[in-house]
Amino acid sequence: MFQEFYRRGKQNNYWQPKQKILVAVSGGVDSMVLLELLQKAAEKDHLSLAVAHIDHQLRPVSKQEADYLKSYCHERHLTFYSQKWQARDKQKNTEARARAFRYNFFSKIMVNENYTAVMTAHHQDDQAETILMKLTRGSALTNLAGIRDKQVFSKGHLIRPLLTFSKAELLDYAQKTKLIYFEDETNQSNDYVRNRLRHQVVPILKKENPQFLQHMSEFSTQVELAADLIHSVIEPKYTRWVQSNEVGWQCSLAELKQEKTSVQTFFLMHLLQQTLLPKGVPVKHYHMQQLLAMINQPTPQMTLDIGMGWQALKTYEQIYLQKKQLHEKQQSYVLHLNEPLFLSENEWLVLEKVTEPLKLPESLQDWQTYSLPIASQLKQPFLVRHRLNGDKIALQPNLTKKVSRLFIDNKVPNTQREQAWLIWSADKELIWIPNFANSYLSIPKETDKIHYRLLYKTKQRLSE
């Protein structure tokens, strides 16, 4: 077994001569076999080995096992690192939390002591169980690759050099070499999904096909290669189409809508993996189906609630991933001459005399500016509010249009429609919708001397 282990280790560059390697050892048969094999490899390639052990304190004998490993390492002049997992509540999500604790411990050692690799004793049976767990729970194709034999971790690599060996082979080697190891009785419990698969499912599949473990390893490799291929196609498109913004991300749909369903599907998977999943937002298969439908339906504006306060928002040729906007109650302001208003943190409005412009606050100097000369006959003070159903604007003497239709004709996104301000005269005539339209009533006559103007400033330019 050692010859095969050593050959594959050199072939796959699992280690280099004189390298410092940290070995994760629980005391079970798998990790003790790995440690034994690496010590033999160390003699040939002058490796510097150290052992990292976690006492999870979940079993009465865990201290005895930790003491044995400490003594074992002392006798063989191996550096020994150990730590206890002292979480108060170990009943909830035990496996995931314990795993996170272990790998955080490994990473700290690698950084502090300059180890460039940590090796764990995952084997073929672990690989098969992992893939079956993912299939059972439901997982995207690119996530079905199972356990990788080598990946970047901390300041070096995380390596699993036993993935080509079965549990039976490891047990056989341990018996032949008379290795001392400890049995974790919790591995016999069916309280965990992995154990149920190990005891009840995998044996049946092995009996059905003796090559089951090998086939699962080959399947994992093929999925890895497929994932690399998909990534090479999708990543350039993601870079070209997706941009981050202050509230999330936006994606151009013009080219995406022309792609095949296969490309659209894997692009959306990649988009969600790069954006929402790292934020802990659970994305389900039906979300993917709804996003695909949203992209390809002719409806210009659609909204999809994804969860945890996030939504996908389609507005014509863009799709946005952003937090839901909590709309404030309808607000209205009375605008008097020379009495500026902060309509929001990012919007400022004033009615001023053209001949006596107000001095702008320093904080507004770089804000985007929109201005409108005002006919002197318009009755003051003005009213400023958001749109209501039925609002109309007189664009020409013989042309009046509903504000809602004006927004539709100009393909204004719903979020901007809700945020737009409407400025009315005291005679209840709509004068101006900053950045969108103004009434012909606001236009001074040629014989008029312009006395007033409305000045609207915004910190961010609105989409035109």
Q: Which of 294, 323, 352 is the last residue of a domain?
A: 323
Q: What pairing do the DSSP bridges indicate for beta strands 117-119 and 156-159? A: parallel
Residue 463 forms part of a structural domain: no
Least confident range of 57-66, 148-157, 163-172: 57-66
Task: Please indicate, yes or no, whether residues 36 and 137 belong to a single structural domain of this protein.
Answer: yes
Asked whether the beta carbons of 399 and 392 are under 8 A apart, the reply is no
pLDDT score of 329 more than 60: no
d(CA 196, CA 49): 35
How many DSSP H helices and E strands does the chain contain? 13, 22
Domain of residue 175, residue span: 2-208
Task: Please indicate, yes or no, whether residues 274 and 359 belong to a single structural domain of this protein.
Answer: no
Q: Which of 299, 323, 347 is the last residue of a domain?
A: 323
Task: Please indicate, yes or no, whether residues 171 and 45 belong to a single structural domain of this protein.
Answer: yes
18-58 pLDDT tens trace = 999 999 999 999 999 999 999 999 999 999 999 999 998 87
Asked whether the beta carbons of 412 and 401 are under 8 A apart, the reply is no
CA angle centred on 272, ends 94 and 464, rounded to 5° = 145
Query: pTM value?
Result: 0.66
Residue 28 forms part of a structural domain: yes
Task: Please indicate, yes or no, whether residues 15 and 80 belong to a single structural domain of this protein.
Answer: yes
Higher pLDDT, 462 or 200: 200
Task: Please indicate, yes or no, whether residues 23 and 73 belong to a single structural domain of this protein.
Answer: yes
Q: Is 376 helix (H, G, I), strand (E, B) or coil?
A: coil
Residue 216 forms part of a structural domain: no
- Across residues 1-27, what is the average pLDDT? 96
Q: Which of 208, 225, 257 is the last residue of a domain?
A: 208
- Across residues 248-267, what is the average pLDDT? 95
Task: Please indicate, yes or no, whether residues 18 and 85 belong to a single structural domain of this protein.
Answer: yes
Residue 232 forms part of a structural domain: no
Task: Please indicate, yes or no, whether residues 278 and 162 belong to a single structural domain of this protein.
Answer: no
Task: Please indicate, yes or no, whether residues 282 and 305 belong to a single structural domain of this protein.
Answer: yes
Task: Please indicate, yes or no, whether residues 251 and 364 belong to a single structural domain of this protein.
Answer: no
Which domain CATH number covers 52? 3.40.50.620
DSSP structure string for 59-105: STTHHHHHHHHHHHHHHTT-EEEEEE---S--SSSHHHHHHHHHHHH
Task: Please indicate, yes or no, whether residues 150 and 250 belong to a single structural domain of this protein.
Answer: no
Residue 83 forms part of a structural domain: yes
Dihedral Cα 191, 194, 198, 201, nearest 10 deg: 90
- Across residues 129-136, what is the average pLDDT? 91
d(CA 443, CA 357): 19
The pLDDT score that the predictor gives to residue 225 is 93
The pLDDT score that the predictor gives to residue 325 is 64
Tell me the one-letter amino acid at 217. Answer: S
Asked whether the beta carbons of 197 and 205 are under 8 A apart, the reply is no
Helix orientation angle between 29-45 and 167-176, rounded to the nearest 10 degrees: 70
Strands (E), 271-344: 301-307, 310-315, 318-323, 332-335, 341-344
Q: What's the number of domains the chain is made of?
A: 3
Which domain CATH number covers 292? 3.30.465.60
